[in-house]
Structure 1
Amino acid sequence: MGQRVSRSDFIWTLTEQPHMDRRRVIAEKYPEVKKLFGVDPSFKYVVAAMVAVQIFFCWLIQDEPFLLVLLMAYFCGGMINHALTLAIHDISHNTAFGQERPLTNRFFSMFANLPIAVPIAISFKKYHVEHHRYLAEDGLDTDVPTRLEGLFFTTPARKLLWLFFQPLFYAFRPLIIYKKAPTDLEILNFAIQIAFDLFILFTFGWKSLFYLLGGTVLALGLHPSAFHFISEHYSFSDKQETYSYYGWFNLITFNVGYHMEHHDFPYIPGRDLPKLRALAPEYYDTLETHDSWWAVLHGFIMNPAIGPYARIKRKPRVDQAFWSENVFAEYIEAALFYVGYYAVRDYISKFISVNYYAKTTGPIAKKIS
């Protein structure tokens, strides 16, 4: 069915990623761009409303026929849950509460994670930082497919299958490409998510849990809102490795289509990325863009030059790091220090040591011996 993909390898390059240079040039020419950094004040309320709507739908559909639940999961719940995954993407850059409150952002991402039914928020942050810092670098950027994906998904039918199972590839690819030890926040994210899933199951029933979980799996696969996975970094011309899309889907995806702009300035909230393009149009108007995510889907499936191998790739600059920071433990340690726990502990330890020494070396001890 259709032509096989003609590529037999990734598009290897010796050049650095372009985003850092463009960021420097724009910041020098337009220093006011820094005013766009920071927090989207309405963002947290939009996310909270989406979480509330999903819980309301869990109550609403609990006794409905399974076919209706399935349709709701795809067309409604899936759309909302996919938007929540993109909200987690924005929160990973601390745009909900600002750079000075990283732990608050992490907990808010866990809250946004609840209707998704799978604990992804903290793990996503851990790997997404590497995606920006080491874009397309072999073994460091887990957004790039594995060689097995490039070798097997080479026909239109297989590429459709690959798109359908995209959530599984995104979930398990890091375990193959770049293994990292779980952090304390990841374990907490897992525990909170399981507790919420059990709450949904025992309060509303298995159909409501399927509505959330099924919606997530369906919406991250062969779903209109998921086509941005292809449009962002798959090279349709070998000239660029990042592409922007300026269509109406941005209205329900927190402007994820402004992907060139996002990689140039990741700390600008999604809502303000159009302002960046308006501020420095000469740096974006000349770049190739996508006009339609549907056209992207069609091109990816039917064009024999496009497949999982259609990604620019670089040799890694640094080694992989298995251990990550246990941020939550560090905050607890800082809080204990602030309230004087360590001072009291050291005083008690010193007091016990002095008294023990006096008992074992003093006059009473000598008389006994």
Structure 2
Amino acid sequence: MKRKFTHVALLLLLLTTILMSGCKKEVEELAVATMFGGDYVNINGVDQYQIWARMMRPSSMEDNQKKEGASSDYLISASSTSLIEIISNLMVRLPKTPFYGHTYIYVFGARGAQEKILPQIEATMSNPDSRPAVFALVTKGLASQIMQLQPSGTTTLTQQIKNQSEKIAIDKGVACGITMNEFSEWLLSPDRDALLPEIESISPVEGETVPDSVIVQGFGVFRQAKLVGWLDKEESLGYLLISKKLRNVHISIPFTIDNQSLAYYLSGSKNKINFKIIDGKPYFKIKIQTVGLVAETDGFDITPDQIKPLEKIISDKIREYPLKSIACAKKYDADYFGLMQKIHRYNPSYWQEIAPNWRDIFQQADVEVEIEAKIVGSGFVSKSFSLKP
């Protein structure tokens, strides 16, 4: 019995090896696209689309490239007034069959996001091989400038942007990843607006030995499928506090007490949004609860009787972020929180009354924000460091 089991195990191992070899050979026959960037530019007096793609090198080539210090992927691009023609041109130029199953990123240039975002989304989403979970981002300049940058500390630029979109941005409270599917649903929604995380290039500080690279921070705001403005770091944090349930994050909230600069390290939050209609006008109440710790510093040790007053100060400070983001939403006339969507969902009869001019109603809506910040720790040491003279 034991010998029979051994023979079966060896047979399975042999079959697995053969299948894996076949898979590797098949992969070598593919041109794997990992990232796309789309611009709308003027070339020789003609407005047209310009699409860039980052393609993964085959492993055999990649080994040689790594020895020579080159990147493990390469860039191709094409321009035309027709997106269909661009796709055709890119496919003709590729030496192998294109594969989109490992495409993780799509970057929109600012002008394309302002004027021609729907055709780009349609071309992307209509591809049966495309991934619906592609992260979409927008830049204030040209997508081509982002596409041509080199990664810092990761294998590829695609992986670096994916990590920032998926983990780092929300961990620091400066943005969050939004997929092409989610973005498309928002753009087509009759009762809310959309936003996308902002991606920009950054230059190394003097003395650093890394190349120019990228940072995902802030949001681009859309109204009726057009880019209309931007959220800075504080406004972006306000959006996240209202719209997301934050878990295991590391967000620093600076505040001052007795002329001393301190920080509240927010590690989690949850929110609840209620509304009612008063005199024909919506009133929203947003309650946000947070937990975090305050790092003790020289001359400032937290005692039990200081906790409640500190929590009040921190709550007032945190409240500034959602209020700034709400003010931006009204300035851009763009409900990216989905507040009016809640009315549509939970009070459909009232929605039917206001649907034709729901944006005017959004501008008139009163929004109250209540913050309840809890201190659950005071850092890694029980006493602050105080140097003796």
With normalisation by structure 1, the TM-score equals 0.21
Which protein, 1 or 2, shows the higher relative CO under an 8 Å CA cutoff with sep ≥ 6?
A: 1
Q: From the two aligned structures, give the one with the greater helix fraction.
A: 1
Q: From the two aligned structures, give the one with the greater strand fraction.
A: 2
